[in-house]
Amino acid sequence: MSPRIDLHTHSSASDGTQTPTELVVAAVAAGLDVLALTDHDTADGWPEAAAAAEQHGLTLLRGMEISTVHDGASVHLLAYLCDPTEPRLAEALTRIRAGRTDRVPRMVERLRERGSAITVDDVLLASAGTPAPGRPHVADALVTLGEVRDRDEAFARFLANGRPAYVDRYATPLADMVEIVAGAGGASVIAHPWGRHGTTALDADLLADLRERGLSGIEVDHEDHDPDERARLRVLARDLDLVATGSSDHHGLGKTGHDLGCNVTAPQELDRLLARAAAAAAASGRRTPDVVGG
């Protein structure tokens, strides 16, 4: 049987609800053979995930999902097997995380103006396990206070873009981050480029330009994409010689409809991704993480 491969998941090192160990155990239980941990803007979950993968016989890619911006719209860039200590990457991640932290009091203020009892300390408690606090942690604090039922309700009423407690934050320009990841020896893949959280600005011309800068692939099979979008993205990937991935974007109990393995990556696409990561690693001269069990 061909291996089942899920290349986009989150742990409690960002806004997932499972520890890295719990995530690895759940991945094995879900019948996955290869998993990538891709927490938002941090590699903090890597050591625990690597140890758990080793112990449970799972193949693990250490990755991240990095906050970037293109044309004023948020774009998430998956970065695999890069060296997070590479100076430009480390500096960018520090700046992005500072933007996340700075935003918390402003979101709290907006919520309090609307009658919420939430405090900054409530959010700090909800985000205690991560250096990358985000809206899901604000949502969790509202759930704890009994002001909303779940994250979905918090986003729909207050936190989604365009809702009253939405506050913008710093993100690195997409084209810059593609080059930074390549310079840090990693392979980059644009997460959910279209669909619900995507932007139509990511067209063939832009993707071709990003490919020149070192982009390795695009995430085609993702719950945010309908069948028509997936078909069109698959054609784009083929035409532009980009790797086409498929993944769950699992967040534990934090996001419904994103069960581990609900979308998977074809083995030959993983091979192409690993070849691009190896080429970037060699060209950069950086010491990049090995695939655990690979």
The residue from 191, 218, 270, 281 that contacts Fe ion (CB under 5 A) is 191
Which of the ranges 43-51, 129-137, 179-187, 281-289 carries the binding residues for ligand AMP, by CB under 6 A? 129-137
The residue from 134, 183, 193, 198 that contacts ligand AMP (CB under 6 A) is 134
Spatial separation of the C-alpha atoms in residues 195 and 230, rounded to whole Å: 9
The residue from 6, 13, 15, 191 that contacts Zn ion (CB under 5 A) is 15
Decide whether 76 or 230 has the Cβ nearer to Zn ion.
76
Decide whether 135 or 276 has the Cβ nearer to ligand AMP.
135
Under the binding rule (CB under 6 A), the answer on residue 63 touching ligand AMP is no
Q: How many CB atoms lie within 10 A of CB 200?
A: 9
Query: Considering only residues 51-70, where is the footprint of Fe ion by CB under 5 A?
Result: 65
Whether 18 contacts 24, CB under 8 Å: no
Name the minimum Å distance from CB 78 to Zn ion: 12
Q: Copy the structure tokens of residue 167.
A: 């506050």
By a kind-dependent CB cut-off of 5 to 8 A, residue 41 interacts, out of Zn ion, ligand AMP, Fe ion, none, with none
Which of the ranges 21-29, 134-142, 240-248, 263-271 carries the binding residues for ligand AMP, by CB under 6 A? 134-142
CA neighbor of 194 nearest in space, from 156, 162, 233, 160 = 233
What are the DSSP E strand ranges found in the chain? 5-9, 34-40, 59-70, 73-80, 172-173, 187-190, 215-221, 243-246
Residue nearest to ligand AMP (CB): 134
Q: Crossing angle for the helix pair 204-213 and 174-183, nearest 10 degrees?
A: 30
Q: Rounded to a whole number, what is the largest CA-CA distance in the chain?
A: 56
The residue from 249, 272, 274, 280 that contacts Fe ion (CB under 5 A) is 249
Q: Mask: binding to Fe ion, 101-120, rule CB under 5 A, as x and -?
A: --------------------
By a kind-dependent CB cut-off of 5 to 8 A, residue 255 interacts, out of Zn ion, Fe ion, ligand AMP, none, with ligand AMP
By a kind-dependent CB cut-off of 5 to 8 A, residue 286 interacts, out of Fe ion, ligand AMP, Zn ion, none, with none
CA neighbor of 9 nearest in space, from 22, 237, 1 = 22
Decide whether 48 or 249 has the Cβ nearer to Fe ion.
249
What is the number of alpha carbons within 13 Å of residue 77 lying toward its C-beta?
Answer: 31
β-pair type (59-70, 172-173): parallel
Q: How many CB atoms lie within 10 A of CB 228?
A: 8
Binding site for ligand AMP (CB under 6 A): 15, 40, 134-136, 151-152, 155, 251, 254-255
- Residues in the site for Zn ion, rule: CB under 5 A? 15
